[in-house]
């Protein structure tokens, strides 16, 4: 009798599967412990409260897939809120304000990408400079919080979309559209395939005739655009601009992307995994809110533990792949 072995799951999917399992277990634990936790609106709130972080995670996924890093995203979010608030206060129409914010983020991303590609500056240093620049520009605009009172902007921010017994905001719709478009670009376009190739081995990608340089610059433009868009969504969420908004958010989004299964060395990862990573962090925050007696700093502790665990898992997968490659050569 022939026994058919079950199909093996490719190792590149294991971190994403592990992230999804952690999300299910975490949400399940909250559902068991707290009454009303397992409701549709709580799930919807995970997306509502983290829509800006999902968009940031999409941009960061592109960057990390190439083996880079972007430390400027939190500062660009804060700068975007300040530009939006100041422009609206000056009487700019909402649509023009949004275009100005998106253009600013894209130009900053382009500048950092050119520094990295043309001047061979390390991504850590280039984006650190971008972080200081963006955060400094916030306080050039205003050292105080600027409230957003524009009626059109506030209408977009406060209006909800009913979906049966639950409701979501326009920010959630924007975030999900960004995720869908990013997944399409990464998996069904030449640009996306080149992103993975550059992260796997940039020298080999160049020898294959791929536009490695343009892609390296392009991912930072995408990250800058996503940071600016996330800043707009954060403006909808906070209805204010402030230079100290989003302090440390770059670390949260890097953690979400890594927990979502994207290798820091590049070449492996999925946008969907990054979204699930954001949901894991959001679920942890929701559980701590329901508990009521725990400090919010426990969120950072849990994120740190998860981050270490997933980095260890990534290292195990990489070593396993190398061992299998060595056996195949033998």
- C-alpha 66/C-alpha 312 separation (Å) is 20
3-class DSSP state of 277: helix
Q: Point out the least confidently predicted range of 3-7, 70-74, 221-225.
A: 3-7
What's the CA angle centered on 277, arms 252 and 261, to 5 degrees?
A: 105
Q: How many CB atoms lie within 10 A of CB 325?
A: 10
- C-alpha 102/C-alpha 108 separation (Å) is 10
What's the CA angle centered on 155, arms 153 and 159, to 5 degrees?
A: 130
Output the pLDDT for position 307. 81
- DSSP tally for the chain: helices H, then strands E: 13, 4
Residue 295 — very low, low, confident or very high, per pLDDT cuts 50/70/90? low
pLDDT > 70 fraction of the chain, expressed in percent and rounded: 91
Report the mean per-residue pLDDT for the chain.
Answer: 88
- Give me the sign of the Cα torsion angle 256, 70, 68, 52: positive
DSSP annotation string for 138-189: HHHH-SS-EE---HHHHHHHH-EEEETTEEEEHHHHHHHHHHHHHHHHHHHS
CA proximity to 196, closest of 13, 58, 67: 67
Element (H, E) at 240: strand 240-241
- C-alpha 153/C-alpha 97 separation (Å) is 10
DSSP annotation string for 72-126: THHHHHHHHHHHHHHHHHTT--HHHHHHHHHHHHHHHHHHHHHHHHHS---HHHH
3-class DSSP state of 241: strand
3-class DSSP state of 286: helix
The 10s digit of each residue's pLDDT in 22-62 is 899 989 988 988 888 888 889 999 999 999 999 999 999 99
The 10s digit of each residue's pLDDT in 218-227 is 999 999 999 9
The 10s digit of each residue's pLDDT in 120-140 is 999 999 999 999 999 999 999
Q: Point out the least confidently predicted range of 2-16, 63-77, 147-161, 272-286.
A: 2-16
Q: What is the mean pLDDT of residues 208-225?
A: 93
- C-alpha 23/C-alpha 310 separation (Å) is 13
Output the pLDDT for position 76. 97
- C-alpha 267/C-alpha 197 separation (Å) is 7
Q: What is the mean pLDDT of residues 4-18?
A: 68
CA proximity to 186, closest of 215, 221, 217: 215
CA proximity to 296, closest of 307, 288, 305: 288
Output the pLDDT for position 319. 67
DSSP lists the bridge partners of residue 168 as 161
| pTM for this predicted structure | 0.91
**What residue ranges do the domains of the chain occupy?**
47-245
Residue 318 — very low, low, confident or very high, per pLDDT cuts 50/70/90? low
CB 71 within 8 A of CB 128: yes
């Amino acid at each position: 009798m022939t026994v058919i072995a079950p199909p093996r799951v490719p190792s590149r999917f294991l971190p994403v599967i592990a992230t999804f399992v952690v999300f299910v277990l975490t949400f399940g634990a909250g559902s068991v412990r707290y009454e009303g936790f397992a409701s549709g609106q709580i799930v919807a709130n995970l997306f509502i409260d983290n829509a800006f972080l999902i968009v940031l995670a999409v941009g960061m996924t592109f960057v990390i897939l190439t083996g880079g890093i972007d430390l400027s995203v939190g500062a660009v979010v804060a700068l975007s809120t300040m530009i939006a608030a100041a422009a609206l206060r000056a009487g700019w129409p909402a649509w023009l304000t949004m275009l100005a914010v998106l253009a600013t983020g894209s130009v900053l991303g382009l500048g950092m990408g050119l520094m990295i590609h043309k001047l061979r500056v390390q991504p850590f240093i280039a984006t650190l400079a971008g972080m200081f620049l963006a955060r400094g520009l916030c306080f050039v605009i205003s050292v105080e919080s600027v409230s957003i009172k524009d009626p059109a902007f506030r209408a977009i921010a406060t209006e909800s979309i009913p979906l049966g017994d639950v409701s979501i905001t326009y920010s959630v719709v924007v975030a999900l559209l960004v995720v869908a478009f990013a997944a399409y670009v990464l998996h069904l376009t030449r640009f996306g395939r080149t992103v993975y190739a550059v992260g796997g081995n940039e020298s080999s990608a160049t020898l294959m005739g791929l536009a490695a340089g343009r892609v390296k610059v392009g991912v930072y433009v995408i990250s800058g655009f996503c940071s600016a868009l996330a800043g707009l969504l954060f403006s909808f969420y906070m209805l204010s601009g402030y230079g100290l908004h989003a302090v440390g958010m770059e670390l949260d989004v890097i953690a979400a992307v890594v927990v979502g299964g994207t290798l820091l060395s590049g070449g492996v990862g999925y946008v969907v995994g990054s979204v699930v990573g954001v949901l894991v962090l959001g679920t942890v925050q929701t559980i701590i809110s329901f508990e009521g007696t725990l400090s919010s700093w426990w969120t950072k502790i849990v994120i740190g533990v998860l981050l270490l665990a997933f980095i260890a898992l990534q290292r195990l997968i990489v070593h396993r792949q190398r061992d299998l490659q060595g056996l195949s050569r033998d």
